[in-house]
Chain A
Amino acid sequence: MEGIGYKILGAVLTTILAFVVGMFYGGFSRKITARIQNRVGPPVWQNFLDVLKLLFKKTSVRYGFMHHIAPLWMISMSITTLMFVPVLNDGLFFTNLNFSGDIIFLLYIMVMGSLGMALGAGSTGNPNSAIGVSRGLTQMVGFEIPWVMALVALMIQYKTTSVTGLMEVQSQSGTWLMFSSPFAFIAALLAMPGMFRYSPFDIVGAPSELASGPISEFGGKYLSTMMTSGSIFAFVKLTLYVDIFMGGASNLIVLVLKTFTLYMYPVLWGTVSARFRTEQSVRYFWGWPTFFGFIALIYAAF
C-alpha cells in the first residue's frame, strides 16, 4: 500500500486483468450467442486468436496522423478510465488512483475514447465511417442523459462525488445502492445496452448497412488495438456499475460473478432483438430511461 512501486505494479496488473477478463467475456458472449442459435460456436479464447492474428497482419494503408493515433487514443483512454475505477473494495493492487470528485471526471473521460475513434474515422474519408460516427454521436446523446441523471441523483442523495465514497455508503449501510436508490439503478441499467453497442443498439457498426461503420478502414494492428481497448473498456464499465450499484466486490471471484451477471443483460437482449434505427434508439433512451432518471432525481432531492 505504500510506495510508488506497488502502485505501478497494481496498475499493470489491473490492465492485464481487465484485458484478459474482457477478452474472455467477449468469447463467452460469442459462445452463448452461438448456443442460443443452436450452434456449437467458437472456443471461448477465440478473441485472443483474433487479436493475435490481427497483430500479425501487415498494413499498407496511410490516411495521415489521426488515423494512426485513433487506436492508441482509444486504448489509452480505456486504461485511463480503468485507473480511476476501483476494481476491488480494498486490496493491495486494485484500488488504483482515487480522489474525491471522480464520478464527474469519469463521465468526461468515458466519452473520450469514442471521440478519438470519431476523429480517426473522420480522417479516413470513408463515407460509411462518417455515417457511423454521426450515428454514434447521436446515440451517445441518447444514452448519456439517463446515465448522467442517475449518477447526479446518487451524488445529490449521498452528498459525495467519489466512487469510493459511494462504496463506503454501501458497506456502512449494508444494502446495495440498487435497492436503496432503485430508480437511479433502473435508469442506469436501461441506458447500459447503449454503451455496449450490442443489438438492438448496434447502429454504429451495423455490418450489413455500414460495412462496420467507423472501423471500416481500420485493419490489422489498428483493429487489434481497438479490440483490446474495447474489451478493457467493457470491463471498466461493468466494474463501475458493480462498484456503484452492487456494492463492489471484496475479491476477484465475486467481481467476476457480479460483472458477468451484469454483462449477460445486454448480451442476451442482443441475441433476441433486431437492430433499431437511429431515431428509434434515441426515442428509446429518451423515453423510459429518462423518465426513471427524473424520478431518481426527484427521489434524491426530497
Chain B
Amino acid sequence: MYNDKESQKIVDIIQNYARKHSLFILAYGTGCGAIEIPPTMTSRYDAERFGIRGSATPRQADVLLITGYLATKSLKRVIKVYEQMQDPKYVIGFGSCTINGGMYWDSYNTINVLDKYLPVDVYINGCMPRPEAVIAGFVKLQKLIQQGKADGWDIYKKNIDEYKANQKKIITNWVMPDFNF
C-alpha cells in the first residue's frame, strides 16, 4: 500500500490542497508596486479570504512577491532572500518591470528579465497592476499549485548552474557564499 502510485496521488492531493489555501507571502517591496500591497491585504480587497497572509521572515514564507523593478544591487538581496526560503517556494513577478524592464528597460542599473535570475511561477502584468490583477495572479498561482505545476523551486535546483552564471554575470563582486540555503 505505501509508496505506490495511488497512495502518493492521495498525498499529493491533500498536500497541494493545503499549500494552495495557505500562502504566506514575503513582499520584497523596493519598487513602486509595494503601494499596491496594502490595499490588496486590507479591507477593500481582503486577500486573507484566500488564505494569503503576510510573513515577516523568509524562513516561514511560501511566496516571494517581487514588486517592481530590481536594481542589480537589490537583486543580490533578493537572491539571498529567495535562497533562504524553504521548499516549496514560489515567486510572483509583479509589474512590467519584472517582465521586460518596463519603463526602466534601458536603465544602466536595473535588470530586465527576472526569470533569467530566479524561477518565476506567475507574472502579473501592468504598471502598476491593480489589486484585482494581483488577486487574479494569486488565484492563478493557486491553480498551478493544485495541478502541481508551480515547480519553480525544483527548476531552480535542477538548473542551478545556469541561474548562478546569469546572476554572477551582473553581480561582479560576489562577496556572499555561493548558496545561501
Nearest opposing residue in chain B for A129, CB measure? B57
1/0 contact trace for B44-69 toward A, CB 8 Å?
Answer: 00101101011111011110000000
A58 touches B43 (CB 8 A): no
Contact indicator B86/A207 (Cβ below 8 Å)? no
What 1/0 flags go to A213-228 for Cβ under 8 Å of B? 0011111100100000
Q: Is A271 an interface residue (CB 8 A)?
A: no
Give the shortest distance, in Å, between A208 (CB) and chain B (any CB): 7
Q: Is B19 part of the binding interface, using a Cβ–Cβ cutoff of 8 Å?
A: yes
Task: Give the number of chain B interface residues (Cβ < 8 Å).
Answer: 26
The stretch from A48-56, A80-88, A107-115, A274-282 touching chain B is A48-56
How many Å from the CB of A236 to the closest CB on chain B?
A: 25
**Chain B minimum-CB-distance residue to A210:** B56
Q: Judging by beta carbons under 8 Å apart, are B43 and A49 in contact?
A: no
B8-49 interface bits toward A, Cβ cutoff 8 Å, 1 = contact, 0 = none = 000000110111011000000000000000000011001011
Residue contact A212 to B60, C-beta cutoff 8 Å? yes
Give the residue name and chain of the A residue nearest to B153 (CB).
A58
Please name the residue on chain B nearest to A33 by beta carbon: B48
Q: In the complex, what distance in Å separates the CA atom of A217 from the CA atom of B86? A: 11
**What is the minimal beta-carbon distance from B35 to any residue of chain A, in angstroms?**
17
Contact of B86 among A30, A50, A59 (CB under 8 A): A59
Residue among A56, A58, A216 with most chain B CB within 10 A = A56
CB distance from B164 to the nearest CB of A (A): 17
Inter-subunit contact A58/B51 (CB<8 Å): no
> Cβ of B54: which chain A residues have Cβ within 8 Å of it?
207
B34 to chain A, nearest CB (A): 14
Q: Which residues of B contact A30 (CB under 8 A)?
A: 48
B87 at the interface (CB under 8 A from A): yes
Residue numbers in B under 8 Å from A182 (CB-CB): none
B153 to chain A, nearest CB (A): 9
User: Would you list 27 pairs from A and B whose C-beta atoms are within 8 A, ordered by A residue?
Assistant: A34-B46, A38-B43, A40-B46, A41-B49, A43-B49, A46-B22, A49-B17, A50-B51, A53-B18, A54-B22, A56-B15, A56-B18, A57-B62, A58-B87, A60-B86, A60-B87, A60-B181, A61-B86, A207-B56, A211-B56, A212-B55, A212-B56, A212-B60, A216-B57, A216-B59, A219-B61, A223-B60
Q: Taking beta carbons and an 8 Å cutoff, which residues of A are in contact with B?
A: 30, 34, 37-43, 46, 49-50, 52-54, 56-61, 128, 207-208, 210-212, 215-220, 223
